Structure 1
Amino acid sequence: MEYSDWLNPRPFQDDAGFIGKVFAAKIRESGLEEVICRLATEIWTKQHMQQDHQLSRSQDAVLDTDELWFGKRKVLYRLRMPDNSLWMARLHNTLYNKTAVTDHATRMTNQMLLFESEVATMQFVRENTQIPVPKVYGYDFTYKNVLGTPYIFMEYIAGKPYPFPFSEKGRIKDADLIKIQTQLTNFAWQLSKYPFDKIGQLRFGAGAEGGVAIGPIIDRKERLYGPFTSSRAFRGHSTGIAQRQCMNLKHASIHYNLLFDEQCTIVGVIDWEWTQTVPVDSFKLLPWNAASKMLLYRAEDVARHEQNSVQQFKALSAGVGSAVIERDVLEAMISFQGSLPQSIARYLEEYNWPEVRRKNYNQLKELISKLTSSFQLSNGRAEERSARDGQKPASC
């Protein structure tokens, strides 16, 4: 079956006076575009010298295009290096000021911690999985560098975000969606094989396993909290799971940050800001169901893709022993798919996002009420069975 419509909202970057464009103009007027190129050249030269490469460059890095890429908190520049390779330079937008932290020094510290977490996460995922993450060439977390703002130099990946390639084809085939969903489920599987013992964001950890440690969470309003050792401590609310559990990495907004080629292959997963470890009740096997974004897709089609993802995950996990990941954790990940506890977990994790509306609170309240009723009914039946058998009910 084929569809020709898709959800394609107007990008906020098109707004007149968008803050990213204002910041980019400030960078150009200050002559910092030349500084970006010079800094990239220095990093490139140092790397080649460390690898004992013979350098015969005749020019420095240059901006490869006048087109810039914007986010609300960042501006990206594509650079052509002396060896003709392509890099991306990403600068933090110092004009962005949506924060709940009033103390300037605390805010700067939290921003630098968030930046460190993103780079540590990118490097961990790139080194331990086959997920296509850009290689990081250089970075500075501070505001005291020559650019006056945190920056990253990374590999350029030649892909485009959704709705490409559908916007080029003019059609959406079910087989294309299945291909996308299969890749995403495989990414989830790869991340699930590296459990952590705390809920938080990754930091560089000297001597720690994998070169990373779990530190506190910096949320979207730049507040710091955690790390946590259980779902109950994380949320202040139990979703009905055991206190002892493994935490797994979860990309905060993967659906906005996938790069595709013309064959619907995901060639890049970018923007790992706010990625953190989450408990098993938060681990969604299909982190972004593209079918749910299609205007003409029916609810049963969306559910079918979700179920296919669960079946694929089961197939991937078949035969995996406890030496890799605990069997009960794998089973818990699968059992929570589409459940009330998982829905509650999703709403609770999004509660601090600026985009959350009143309806989310009402839906969350309704879900918790349903879950509470379910627990009460389950416990009542357990007590009845225990009374019939002359046994005491098991304590939770």
Structure 2
Amino acid sequence: MTDSPPLGNVSWKGVGDYGEEYAERIHKFFDKIDNKALESYVSSLRGNQPCNISTEFSVGNFNLVRKIQFHDGVEWIVRLLMPPMPVAGQLIETVSPKAQEKRLLSMQSELATMEFVRQNTDIPIPKIYAYELNEQNAVGCPFFMMEYVHGNTAEEVSQSYPGNREGIPEPFQEKFWRQIANIMTQLASVRLPRIGSIVRDAAGSFVAGPLIETGSGPYDSAAEFYADYPLALGNSLAEREGPVDGQGEVIQAFCSLAASFPPPAARAERGSAEDFGLANYDLNPNNILIDQEFNVLAVIDWDSVVSVPDAALYRFPYLMGVKCAVPGLDSTERLQLKREALSQQFAEVVEAWGKEQLEKEFRGVNKRRMYLFTKSGFFSKEAVAFRSLIAVRQGQDWVNEEWIQGLAWLSDRNEEQVTRFYLEQ
């Protein structure tokens, strides 16, 4: 057993603790923030209760988090939205009007998603106390005031364990996976009539709106989504990062293959309109707060939640040492083989958790309708193919080349042959 990192903000860092590539971006962002305006705003939310805001922080790709300590003992955090990530090594100090609009839509959708999920599931989500979405405010950036949760990310706690390994420490692996299964199942069980990002309509109701990532949609069917979304994704990636070798070929290959997917009516026999479950594509250990025993305390990132076709619900979280093979490509690398073996174990855990909950449902313990994941569903032709649209976001030509081969392999195989490749080797 190793010494776990101290819980909560005690483990947070200062600017000097970060390497040069991060420090410059953080320094410039810190200089931009008006701390007096921030303290004044926070204090006003609680009847001018005095407060202190930590100089230590936690930082990700998009947000910098600082702790707020009121003099009466109440603790919050402020999540400050940073400028976009550097492009070609160049810092972005001024956010363009188009980027500002997309950031605003993303924040609005995240707020709507957190409230919608809170109302429809038991997933632990930090409370939002206040927010400012205007880029030109007195503080200097958009921000959320949120509940402070005394924990660390599962990624941080995992990295405190010794050994050349990745993912969750083995003694806690199944325990953590089962909690991931719970979150995935609860999200997938929330059904919407359209594919899209969660937003509020003019009446304040929650609906599936256009996808924040691409601006496309919402979509009424899986077929419509598969025909249009990949093209919108390709345009969005090219606009953001420039062309990458193989990117267009992956997207075209997916669209051609997706045209052969069976219609939902043939799969579900529901005789009614399609509906779609929720998936959080940022549900990874770096966005999950836990205690030192790997009990999940909160999921902290909600800007990548979308309602999607059932096959797209079958995702493997990143940073867990779990990875599905590219179809048709046999790896001999030891680490990759381990990741592939763990992907099967993870799929088994998710399926087993669902079966346990179904038994409780029969006994009247669970009252909500549940979506049941299956091990084979993780390795279905449609689910595997959809992962090519996740991989293409990496912007790496060698990844694209692998998936061009993988999609060609899939197009020549039936469901049974795909299952045999993944589950009978």
TM-score interval, normalised by the smaller of the two chains: 0.7 to 0.9
Pairwise CA distance, 1:159: 1.3
Seen in structure 2, the aligned counterparts of structure 1 residues 110 and 168 have a Cα distance that, compared at 3 Å, is closer
Secondary structure at the aligned position of 1:213 is classed as strand
Q: Which residue of 2 aligns with 1:217?
A: 211
Q: Which residue of 2 aligns with 1:91?
A: 80
Seen in structure 2, the aligned counterparts of structure 1 residues 309 and 3 have a Cα distance that, compared at 3 Å, is farther
Seen in structure 2, the aligned counterparts of structure 1 residues 371 and 332 have a Cα distance that, compared at 3 Å, is farther
2:270 corresponds to 1:240: no
Identity of aligned residues (%): 20
Contact 1:280–1:333 (Cα < 8 Å) also in 2: no
Q: Give the one of 66, 90, 93 matched to 1:77.
A: 66
Q: Which residue of 2 aligns with 1:126?
A: 118
Secondary structure at the aligned position of 2:293 is classed as coil
Q: Give the one of 45, 50, 61 matched to 2:51.
A: 61
Deviations 1:45-69 (A, max 9, x none): 3xxxxxxxxxxx7x51211x32122
CA distance in 2, matches of 1:335, 1:205: 37
Secondary structure at the aligned position of 1:67 is classed as coil
Contact 2:311–2:382 (Cα < 8 Å) also in 1: yes
Segment drifting more, 181-190 vs 126-135:
126-135
Pairwise CA distance, 1:138: 0.6
Q: Which residue of 2 aligns with 1:111?
A: 103
Contact 1:281–1:333 (Cα < 8 Å) also in 2: no
Deviations 1:4-27 (A, max 9, x none): 9xxxxxxx9933152541343323
Q: Which residue of 1 aligns with 2:389?
A: 348
CA distance in 2, matches of 1:258, 1:242: 35
Q: Give the one of 192, 199, 214 matched to 2:195.
A: 199
Aligned residues: 341
Q: Which residue of 2 aligns with 1:314?
A: 355
CA distance in 2, matches of 1:377, 1:288: 27
Contact 1:68–1:76 (Cα < 8 Å) also in 2: yes
Q: Which residue of 1 aligns with 2:279?
A: 250
Pairwise CA distance, 1:265: 0.9
CA distance in 2, matches of 1:214, 1:163: 31
CA distance in 1, matches of 2:276, 2:131: 28
Q: Which residue of 2 aligns with 1:43?
A: 45
1:226 partner amino acid: G
Contact 2:344–2:375 (Cα < 8 Å) also in 1: no
What's the Cα RMSD here? 3.6
Secondary structure at the aligned position of 1:153 is classed as strand
1:158 partner amino acid: H
CA distance in 1, matches of 2:158, 2:77: 25
Contact 1:216–1:225 (Cα < 8 Å) also in 2: yes
2:178 partner amino acid: T
Seen in structure 2, the aligned counterparts of structure 1 residues 177 and 297 have a Cα distance that, compared at 3 Å, is farther
Seen in structure 2, the aligned counterparts of structure 1 residues 279 and 333 have a Cα distance that, compared at 3 Å, is farther
Bigger radius of gyration among the two: 1
Pairwise CA distance, 1:142: 1.9
Instruction: Output the TM-score relative to the length of structure 1.
Output: 0.74
Q: Which runs of 5+ in 2 are unaligned?
A: 4-14, 89-94, 228-254, 265-272, 324-333, 418-425
Secondary structure at the aligned position of 1:259 is classed as strand
Segment drifting more, 330-339 vs 245-254:
330-339
Contact 2:32–2:140 (Cα < 8 Å) also in 1: no
- How does 1:1-396 map onto structure 2 within 5 Å? 14-18=18-22, 20-28=25-33, 32-45=34-47, 59-63=49-53, 65-94=54-83, 96=85, 104-168=96-160, 170=162, 174-205=170-201, 207=203, 211-219=205-213, 223-236=214-227, 237=255, 238=258, 240-243=261-264, 245-255=274-284, 256-284=286-314, 287=317, 290-292=320-322, 298=338, 299-318=340-359, 319=361, 325=369, 330=371, 335-351=376-392, 353=393, 355-375=394-414
Instruction: Output the TM-score relative to the length of structure 2.
Output: 0.70
CA distance in 2, matches of 1:105, 1:169: 44
Deviations 1:213-252 (A, max 9, x none): 1111122xxx422222223322323262425532222212
Pairwise CA distance, 1:291: 4.7
Seen in structure 2, the aligned counterparts of structure 1 residues 324 and 68 have a Cα distance that, compared at 3 Å, is closer
Segment drifting more, 14-23 vs 65-74:
14-23
